[in-house]
Copies of this chain bind each other. A is one copy, B any other.
Amino acid sequence: MSTQPRGPYAKGLARREEILVSALDVVARAGFHGASIKEIADEVGLSQAGLLHYFTSKDELFVEVLRRRDERDNRTFENADDPVEALLEVVEHNASVPGLVELFSRMAVAAADPEHPAHAYFLERGASLRDSLARALDSDSAPGTGTAAATVAPDPAPDAATTARLLQAAADGLQLQFLQDPTVDMVAPLRALVDALRRRP
């Protein structure tokens, strides 16, 4: 049995992927409220029912859009030497796609419901992000590594796991401030936090 899907199933997967790419572009371009199912369906030449045939619900479609976005962002993480700097790059990019910031934040709250498709997504994504950040922060204390910024580290300094959780929280909270007031600069405060908390090797 081939591990490559073929025939109608492969076509279905390809169509689903095409829908996700279009939906991601529509949300990024038209904003969360502009990204109706009708708008996304029009973009890929399907009826609304035809589009939803590929997903169990509108919520599942939106969670899959976030996963698709993560795949793009993961390239930033893979290309960066330093996951903490990659986080700052992603946050800077997010300021140009407020529709995706709103989609992410809406789904982050919807994830409170264990039955919602966003629940598992946010638990996995959070754990993976914090793990990646914490490993980078831990390596700061290894001699000759890291790109730590603080000339004098605070004492007491939070451990790597706590700092990782705080970076995630600050990034998510700054997104809420940015949604409410688009003039809010998300990058400068997050950069200040990184500069204050990272230890010089």
Chain A residues engaging chain B, CB cutoff 8 angstroms? 32-33, 98, 102, 105-106, 108-109, 111-113, 119, 122-123, 126, 149-158, 162, 165-166, 168-174, 176-177, 179-181, 188-189, 192-193, 195-197
- 10 residue pairs from A and B, CB less than 8 Å apart: A105-B108, A105-B109, A108-B176, A109-B109, A123-B180, A150-B155, A154-B195, A166-B170, A169-B171, A172-B176
A197–chain B nearest beta-carbon distance, Å: 6
In the assembled complex, the Cα of A29 lies from the Cα of B76 at a distance in Å of 43
Within the oligomer, what is the number of copies of this chain? Answer: 2
Which residues from chain B contact A181 at a C-beta distance below 8 Å? 123, 126
Partner of A169, one of B109, B177, B197: B177
> Do the beta carbons of A189 and B165 come within 8 Å of each other?
yes
> Do the beta carbons of B102 and A195 come within 8 Å of each other?
no
> Do the beta carbons of B150 and A180 come within 8 Å of each other?
no
> Do the beta carbons of A193 and B158 come within 8 Å of each other?
yes
In the assembled complex, the Cα of A142 lies from the Cα of B157 at a distance in Å of 23
Which residues from chain B contact A112 at a C-beta distance below 8 Å? 32, 98, 102, 105, 179-180
> Do the beta carbons of B166 and A189 come within 8 Å of each other?
yes
> Do the beta carbons of A150 and B156 come within 8 Å of each other?
yes
> Do the beta carbons of B158 and A151 come within 8 Å of each other?
no
> Do the beta carbons of A180 and B102 come within 8 Å of each other?
no
Known: A102-B109, A158-B189. A165 touches B177 (CB 8 A): yes
Which residues from chain B contact A150 at a C-beta distance below 8 Å? 154-156
In the assembled complex, the Cα of A108 lies from the Cα of B32 at a distance in Å of 15
Partner of A189, one of B102, B105, B153, B162: B162
Which residues from chain B contact A108 at a C-beta distance below 8 Å? 105, 176, 179-180
Which residues from chain B contact A172 at a C-beta distance below 8 Å? 169, 172-173, 176-177
A59–chain B nearest beta-carbon distance, Å: 15
Partner of A154, one of B33, B119, B154, B170: B154
Q: Chain B: which residue is nearest A111 at the CB level?
A: B180
